[in-house]
Chains A and B, each alone.
Chain A
Amino acid sequence: MTDHFTPDSAAQPDGPAPNDGRRSFIKQATGLLGLALAPPLVGQAERLTALSKKVAGVSEMKLKVNGTVRTIKAEPRTTLLDALRENLDLTGSKKGCDHGQCGACTVLVDGRRVNSCLTLAVMSQGKEITTVEGLAKGEELHPLQQAFIEHDGFQCGYCTPGQLMSGVACLKEGHAKTDGDVREWMSGNLCRCGAYPNIVAAIRQVEKSGFKS
């Protein structure tokens, strides 16, 4: 299992941090194809949706996460997962496999569950991003978070944020009507501790309670 889980501090041992000053020499370019004049920031291009835009090197990006628009500086290759964890200090979303195979990085983008490790931050601008940090309302846990506690839906906890986000989406999609449905539609979230029966029970409890996202 340890082979698959990279410690946070060494998430990208060989790569530069997205904000790394060494990269600042890289040409910053934000422009409109086919127009002589380019606007200074991506944010402005974002609003001109009829035209194309170009991003090269470290650039400003605006991400709306859990209802708040935040500005980061990142490269086009920065994944949404790295932007959340490294730029926005939202470390709830986990980097497990970094290849879309384990589901630990699952977040909602415009209400749909996606693997944030295979999503580019630059392509997530203008969208509503919800992470596990956005589930609870203050001190009040989301019903699925409460159900995970009641049913012991985790052991080490590493996959839990992804399980929760995927579970919330699974309920909203109407794919939690039977235990079999939950197992099938939660198959994109692996739990190496094997808490699956308890995860299924937690999701089913929330489904039976009639909760609608």
Chain B
Amino acid sequence: MENFTYLQASQAKEATAAVRDHKGAAFIAGGTTLLDLMKLNVENHNQLVDINMLAFKGVEQTADGLRIGALERMSDVGENPLVMQQYPVISQSLLQAASPQLRNMASIGGNLLQRTRCGYFRDTAFPCNKRQPGSGCPAQEGENRNLAILGGSKACIATYPGDLAVALVALDAVVLLENAKGKQRRVPLLDFHLVPGNTPQRETVIEPGELIVSVTVPAAAHARKSMYLKVRDRASYAFALVSAAVGLDVQGSQIRSARVALGGVGTKPWRSLTAEKILTGAPATEATFRAAAAAAVRDAQPREQNRFKLELAQNTLVRALTDVAAKA
């Protein structure tokens, strides 16, 4: 790992200015993604700004939903009683992610910004448009079993690797950002991550020096009746091959509202508004779920090694919808 200067910030303004005004600087909270990538020379920073002293804490019920401070740790949010009871899909996505050690370290803000596990991105011996714009994408015809079938481009098919963002995007979460001028803005998580297009190096709408302050999630019936189903190569501690975040509000046998997002298959946390449209107002039956699942992957462009994700994603979605509909 290249050496760097360490700064501990006590105020948000100090932290954001230190990153905005210093080329090569980065924020550090848990450091689990950052130090991993710095050891691989995938990321190099000459200054790290420690933001752990900032007041971006708390998990609380607000007038219209849930507020999670960006510096809360994954383990604490995952086991928070309010989150477990009112937003089970969020708790489950967190507790099925990473390992207990990493969850004790990793912050909520950092988790949303975690970077792809694409092997070509993580190995500097290979070209990668995300790491070195214009250098090429060996994944297109290479080792692409774990890569995306939705939202890819000729420049990049790297999967967004996280779980939490998939749950949050399903529940209409909003990210609160703050820049070096102290100015705050709210971005729906749906618009926060970007598909690669011709600029795979740009992964979110976050500007240099901007910090994630908190995430808010509106309360809803489909949030209370929700779940996260993650399918992996091993039973635990692995990234998703496919995951589904679903929420349903079923009255009688009719679906009043539905939320659907997929993980492990998209270049960003993949919300399917098309699937939700099919579910809403329809009877909660397997036929409905099958139709919604088919719609969710209709635009998929699988590659040679990840064609299996097409069927796996649909089956995962149907299972999740069936299970959540059966919940009291």
Interface on A for B, CB 8 Å cutoff? 15, 26, 29, 33-34, 49-57, 75-77, 79, 98-100, 103, 106, 112-115, 118-120, 122-123, 166, 169-170, 173, 175, 183-189
Interface on B for A, CB 8 Å cutoff? 1-11, 14, 28, 31-32, 35-36, 39-40, 48, 50, 52-53, 75, 98-102, 104-105, 235-237
Chain B nearest Cβ from A42, distance in angstroms: 10
Contact B6 A122 (CB under 8 A): yes
Chain B residues within 8 Å of A57, by CB: 3
Given A52-B8, A56-B5, A76-B3, are A113 and B39 neighbors across the interface (CB < 8 Å)? no
| Cα distance, A167 to B251, chains bound together (Å) | 45
| Cα distance, A79 to B98, chains bound together (Å) | 20
Contact A188 B101 (CB under 8 A): yes
Given A77-B4, A99-B39, are A52 and B236 neighbors across the interface (CB < 8 Å)? no
A112, A118, A186: the one within 8 Å of B36 (CB): A118
Chain B residues within 8 Å of A54, by CB: 5-8
Given A76-B5, A76-B48, A187-B237, are A52 and B100 neighbors across the interface (CB < 8 Å)? no
B2, B99, B104: the one within 8 Å of A112 (CB): B104
Chain B residues within 8 Å of A170, by CB: 100
With contacts defined as CB atoms under 8 Å apart, how many contacts are there between chain A and chain B in the complex? Answer: 104
Chain B residues within 8 Å of A115, by CB: 32, 101-102, 105
| Cα distance, A52 to B12, chains bound together (Å) | 11
Chain B residue with Cβ nearest A59: B6
Contact B39 A103 (CB under 8 A): no
| Cα distance, A182 to B1, chains bound together (Å) | 34
Chain A residues within 8 Å of B5, by CB: 29, 54-56, 76
Most B C-beta atoms less than 10 A away, residue of A123, A169, A170, A184: A123
| Cα distance, A54 to B46, chains bound together (Å) | 13
Chain B residues within 8 Å of A29, by CB: 5
| Cα distance, A170 to B99, chains bound together (Å) | 12
Chain B residues within 8 Å of A175, by CB: 100
Chain B nearest Cβ from A3, distance in angstroms: 15
Given A98-B39, A118-B31, A120-B35, are A53 and B102 neighbors across the interface (CB < 8 Å)? no
Chain A nearest Cβ from B235, distance in angstroms: 8
Subset of 10 A-B contacts with CB under 8 Å = A52-B7, A52-B14, A53-B8, A115-B101, A118-B32, A118-B105, A119-B105, A166-B101, A188-B98, A189-B99
| Cα distance, A168 to B104, chains bound together (Å) | 15
Chain A residues within 8 Å of B7, by CB: 33, 52-54
Contact A52 B101 (CB under 8 A): no
Contact A76 B6 (CB under 8 A): yes
